[in-house]
Amino acid sequence: MAQQISDRRDVDFVLHEQLKVEELSKHEKFVEFNRKTVDLIVSEARNLAVKEILPTQKLGDEEGCKFENGNVTIPESFHKAYKIFKEGEWIAMPEDPEWGGQGMPRTIALAASDYFVGANFAFMMYPGLTHGAGKLVEKFGTEKQKKLFLKKMYTGEWTGTMLLTEPEAGSDVGALTATAKKNDDGTYSITGSKIFISGGEHDLTENIIHPVLARIEGAPEGTKGISLFLVPKYRVNDDGRTGEFNDVVCTGIEEKMGIHGNSTCSLTLGGKGQCIGTLLGEENKGMRAMFIMMNEARLLVGLQGFTCASAAYMYALNYARERVQGRNLLQMFDKSAPPVPIIQHPDIRRMLITMKAYVEGMRSLVYYIGMCEDKATLSEDEKEKDTLHSLIEFLTPIAKGYVTDRSFEMCSLGLQVYGGYGYIKEYPMEQLLRDCRITPIYEGTNGIQAMDLLGRKLGMKGGKIILALFEAIQETVQNAKQTTGLDGLAEKVEEAVNKLGEVAMHIGKTAMSDKILNAFAFAHPFMEVSGDVVMSWMLLWRAQIAVSAEKPKKKDMAFYEGQVKSAEFYINSVLPATLGKMNAVLGTNGAAVEISEDAFGGK
């Protein structure tokens, strides 16, 4: 069953052979996390995920959440799993033990989360958002706020959320209408309504802590006038004990396509004028603060999408090995030939190797961003820190946008491998497909991720952040050129990188011209080709390690062969199409923005 969540051999490969995570233990901050400890953490995470969390996935989907008289009941099976998860101190893995964390490198936390989220990401949204909300308290909270809230959030005694979206203020957060009126004691009376709040109300913990975006009376319009407030469901007394109800009322939950086990709530704050919040950070700087949580949340969403794809691949691979149907194509005219497992059929193999290549490339990308964060934390070299932060900045919209787009496609391919059985609820594929579909939408739609990549990241620091990416890719390309058997693949990746540089320069200039609408109509295709090139980089890097392995053990031979074949397939079968998509971006045809509304038809 564990293999149906994530491939442990591949997790180990990325951690130890690609990223060499144990080298972090040379630094005092991470001295405890040698290879033995890392392997133990991943094993414990795997066991917990398989034994306690995975069984809740189907149960949670079928039972869903129930709303009655302002109260929300979540799936019964979640309570036991959460209790064990909380007792294991898994919620704030990378954070300071003083506040209830484990102080581990983020890369290792991602490997553990690979299993947790893959087991049931609707369940994992409760602790995931709690960690993000706690991070806001840690970074922007006063000493009093930290003392009252932080440890209880990081240890899971209380959960947390994120209250941004309103009925008329979704992607355009600046249009929000929630207000905050300052009281004589320095607190604020909060009034407003928020929607699409994941985990906004539930019976999992006694208190829920809401970071809320609102506008202080008299503040400027738009995002410049937004402040961030800490609003608990129940007020917290100065001695840390839970006080009276804080007028945060759940008015309903959404009936969704997927992630049924997570309560998606509408909340009314201050309907009776009794909702009290405290300022988190500075006045009118709420959006800047909230971006801290949003960036973490976007990486979490990329992980959610990826783990759906990973689980889908594990299930599809296992099914293809066991499902017997049809003769081998080489024996199709031999009526006496026995039926064979469908993994022998070429089209099934095409789908499986496509899934394999993307899942492996996405795992490497997600873990790599974690490693960049860990190295930036440890580095005392300002130039190195700047380079690492540049890579994180550029890769974040790809890790959220591109990865979730591709993850949904991989779940769809996995369902296709199952055929008709994949479409029915007896098998796990249709739930994975439904659950995964939210990931390209929330925490900023993938169209917004693409606009961020083009409008902000491409020109940031005078173009230095994309140059940092190109330099990292070229380093891998040059190593691969010197590796027997990989020079041809390396040259094709180099061609794609060079062309991406041309595309980036073109679309960047177009975005600054009178053709700006044309440019942004191609923002998503630009993100797509950027992601394709990043995938080719990760797969080439993996292949280079596999080919260069010294005296590999017999049990590893097939795995290393698989790394080379993943790169070979992707670079020869997918990357040529990417070059064609780059030509489309270079053309920047204006049909999408020039067409009149009436010409779309439908009237």
pLDDT in tens, 479-504: 999 999 999 999 999 999 999 999 99
Let me know: does 342 contact 325? Beta carbons within 8 Å: yes
Q: How far apart are CA 456 and CA 458, in angstroms?
A: 6
Nearest to 431 by CA among 420, 415, 446, 417: 415
Q: How far apart are CA 352 and CA 320, in angstroms?
A: 9
Which residues make Cβ contacts (< 8 Å) with residue 36, sequence separation at least 6? Answer: none
Sign, CA dihedral 398-481-551-559, equals positive
How far is the CA of 151 from the CAs of 4, 86, 130, 140, 545, in angstroms? 34, 12, 11, 15, 41
Let me know: does 155 contact 89? Beta carbons within 8 Å: yes
Quote the DSSP letter at residue 234: E
Nearest to 328 by CA among 340, 319, 336, 320: 340
> Which stretch of DSSP H or E encloses residue 250?
strand 248-253
For the record, the structure tokens of 599 come out as 């010409």
Which residues make Cβ contacts (< 8 Å) with residue 564, sequence separation at least 6? Answer: 485, 486, 543, 546, 547
Ramachandran bin of 281, using left for φ above 0, alpha for ψ from -120 to 50, beta for the remaining angles: left
Domain at 2-154, CATH class: mainly alpha
What's the chain's Rg over C-alpha atoms?
25
Domain map (residue ranges) of the chain: 2-154, 159-285, 458-590
- Confidence at residue 222, expressed as pLDDT on a 0 to 100 scale: 85
443 is catalytic: yes
- Confidence at residue 5, expressed as pLDDT on a 0 to 100 scale: 86
Nearest to 476 by CA among 313, 361, 603: 361
Q: Is 227 helix (H, G, I), strand (E, B) or coil?
A: strand
Let me know: does 133 contact 161? Beta carbons within 8 Å: yes
Nearest to 393 by CA among 473, 303, 459: 459
Identify the bridge partners of residue 213 per DSSP, sorted by sequence position: 228
Find tokens 């839970």 and name the residue. Answer: 242
Q: How far apart are CA 203 and CA 573, in angstroms?
A: 49
- Confidence at residue 1, expressed as pLDDT on a 0 to 100 scale: 39
DSSP string, 164-205: --BTTBSS-GGG---EEEE-TTS-EEEEEEEEEEETSS-SSS
Q: Is 214 helix (H, G, I), strand (E, B) or coil?
A: strand
Could you tell me how many residues make up the chain? 603
Let me know: does 120 contact 304? Beta carbons within 8 Å: no
Which listed residue (52, 373, 430, 443) is catalytic? 443
Which residues make Cβ contacts (< 8 Å) with residue 55, sequence separation at least 6? Answer: 77
Mean pLDDT of the chain: 95
For the record, the structure tokens of 307 come out as 């783990």
- Confidence at residue 171, expressed as pLDDT on a 0 to 100 scale: 65
Q: How far apart are CA 164 and CA 578, in angstroms?
A: 36
DSSP string, 379-416: ---HHHHHHHHHHHHHHHHIIIIIHHHHHHHHHHHHHH
Nearest to 6 by CA among 420, 360, 384, 242: 360
Let me know: does 316 contact 421? Beta carbons within 8 Å: no
Quote the DSSP letter at residue 300: H
- For 274-323, where are the alpha helices, taking DSSP H only? 286-322
Q: At residue 441, what are phi and psi to the nearest 5 degrees?
A: -105, -55
Quote the DSSP letter at residue 600: G
Identify the bridge partners of residue 210 per DSSP, sorted by sequence position: 231
Let me know: does 162 contact 133? Beta carbons within 8 Å: yes
Find tokens 């149960």 and name the residue. Answer: 59
Let me know: does 160 contact 197? Beta carbons within 8 Å: no
**What number of other Cβ atoms are within 10 A of residue 377's Cβ?**
16
- Confidence at residue 199, expressed as pLDDT on a 0 to 100 scale: 97
Q: How far from chain centre, in Å, is Cα 46?
A: 19
Which residues make Cβ contacts (< 8 Å) with residue 286, sequence separation at least 6? Answer: 213, 214, 226, 227, 228, 229, 280
Identify the bridge partners of residue 197 per DSSP, sorted by sequence position: 265
- Confidence at residue 109, expressed as pLDDT on a 0 to 100 scale: 97
How far is the CA of 403 from the CAs of 51, 274, 364, 439, 532, in angstroms? 28, 42, 11, 9, 10
Quote the DSSP letter at residue 484: T
How far is the CA of 286 from the CAs of 102, 229, 268, 452, in angstroms? 28, 8, 20, 19
Domain at 159-285, CATH class: mainly beta
Residue 236 identity (one-letter amino acid): V
For the record, the structure tokens of 347 come out as 């089209």
- Mean pLDDT in consecutive groups of 10 residues from the start of the chain, 603 residues: 77 98 96 97 97 97 96 97 97 95 97 97 96 94 96 97 83 80 96 96 97 94 92 96 96 97 97 97 89 82 97 97 94 91 97 98 98 96 93 95 98 98 96 98 94 94 92 97 96 98 97 96 98 98 95 93 98 98 97 95 88
pTM: 0.96
Q: How far apart are CA 208 and CA 199, in angstroms?
A: 9
Let me know: does 212 contact 194? Beta carbons within 8 Å: yes
- Confidence at residue 169, expressed as pLDDT on a 0 to 100 scale: 63
DSSP string, 430-481: HHHHHHHTTTTTSSS-HHHHHHHIIIIITTGGGGHHHHHHHHHHHHHHHHHH
Q: How far apart are CA 320 and CA 427, in angstroms?
A: 14
Q: How far from chain centre, in Å, is Cα 88?
A: 23
